[in-house]
Amino acid sequence: MTARTQTPAELGYRMPAEWEPQAATWLSWPRREGISFPDSFDRVLPALREMVAALVESEPVCINVINGAHEAEARAVLDALPQQECITYYEIPTNEPWCRDHGPIFLTRKTDPKLAIVDWDYNAWGNKYPPFDLDEVVPTRIAEILKVPVFYPRMILEGGSIEVNGAGALLTSESCLLNKNRNPKLSRGEIEQRLRDYLGVREILWLGDGIEGDDTDGHIDDLARFVSETKVVTVVEENSDDANYQPLQDNLNRLSGFGLDIVILPMPKKMVREGQRLPASYANFYIANSCVLVPTFADPADELALSILRDCFPNRRVVGIDSRELIWGLGTFHCLTQQQPKVL
């Protein structure tokens, strides 16, 4: 159950693409006393219920809770849903609900053991939101429950900062991975090598800056997402007066040089709450086995974004869920979820 002397890549492991078959989706249920949804905890519960309702039609859902009382809070929201047999609660305490970033990165290979976990170090997006001690150990706790090997790269990395196509390519952003609040002692080349060694990728594709209001310093899952091995969707801001216009144009120009098919997603109109720009983005969708969960914002661009993603995923139900309250926590469905791949 501890790190091997050989790297996952040397042992034949890789990180599958999100659209590959999944065994489950992992979530960390938010805490009322947490900092993610100040003064609006109850208002985010309908979106969480809709998210789980869609997921249980697709696959098992594993939910991390602090204790029995916390589980009871989650059940008060979810017990009315059908297919309760698809929901399992695990006593794995967390600080905040962003399982994409603190949860495990799952790897697969063709020989036993076929499943493994990478436990990257975690510092709550550059030490912005202490405490994060519970979140930091979640991957190893899950590895213990699943009885699978766990690898320790000794590098800070959040799941939302990387995007893979399952065939050797990885997308990320310079503003996040090269930020000195993550791994100040590692060079770009050293970071690239750890991504190759621990995720089984070969090619690292770098974008530049993230969107305004994104406290993660520019996670890729608000910017550009693989929808197949050769196709990527990327958000573009049409309003040249918006702060996001130029960074997203620069990212589009970079993507154009990577030899990928590019599909343009719109951006919703600027959202501000209590003087804070919110990082609303249609790119923060989550791909499950039979559905794609897409944040919507009661915006004129909602239907266009859903239509574009339906074209990208013709064999999945594309579900738009109102995320106007959820985005007050500065993340939506991709940030909340972590896929466990199916072992084939």
Domain ranges of the chain: 22-341
Which H or E run includes 116?
Answer: strand 115-118
86 classed as catalytic: no
pTM of the model: 0.97
**DSSP assignments along 57-114, one per residue:** TTS-EEEEESSHHHHHHHHHHHTTSS-GGGEEEEE---SSS-HHHHSPEEEE-SSSS-
SS3 340: strand
Question: For the CA atoms of 297, 299, 302, 305, what is the dihedral angle to 10 degrees?
Answer: -100
DSSP state, residue 329: G
Q: Which residues of the chain have pLDDT under 70?
A: 1-4
User: Alpha-carbon distance 163 to 258, whole Å?
Assistant: 15
| Six-digit token string for 28 | 């960390």
Which residues, in sequence order, are CB contacts of 2 under 8 Å at separation 6+? 150, 152
Q: What is the pLDDT of residue 216?
A: 98
How many beta carbons lie within 10 A of that of residue 232, not counting itself? 22
pLDDT digits (tens, 9 = 90+) for 138-159: 999 999 999 999 999 999 999 9
The count of residues in the chain is 344
CATH number for the segment(s) 22-341: 3.75.10.10
Torsion of CA 158, 47, 27, 208, to 10 degrees: -10
pLDDT the model gives residue 4: 59
Per-residue tokens: 49 = 């219920």
CB of 316 closer than 8 Å to CB of 22: no
Q: First and final CA of the chain: distance in angstroms?
A: 21
194-220: per-residue pLDDT in tens?
A: 999 999 999 999 999 999 999 999 999
Contact 201, 186 (CB under 8 A): no
Q: Are 328 and 273 in contact (CB under 8 A)?
A: yes
**Catalytic residue, candidates 86, 176, 312, 335:** 335
CA distances for 204 relative to 23, 34, 178, 314, angstroms: 27, 35, 13, 28
β-sheet with 163-164: strand ranges across: 163-164, 169-173, 203-207
Torsion sign, CA atoms 325, 328, 329, 331: positive
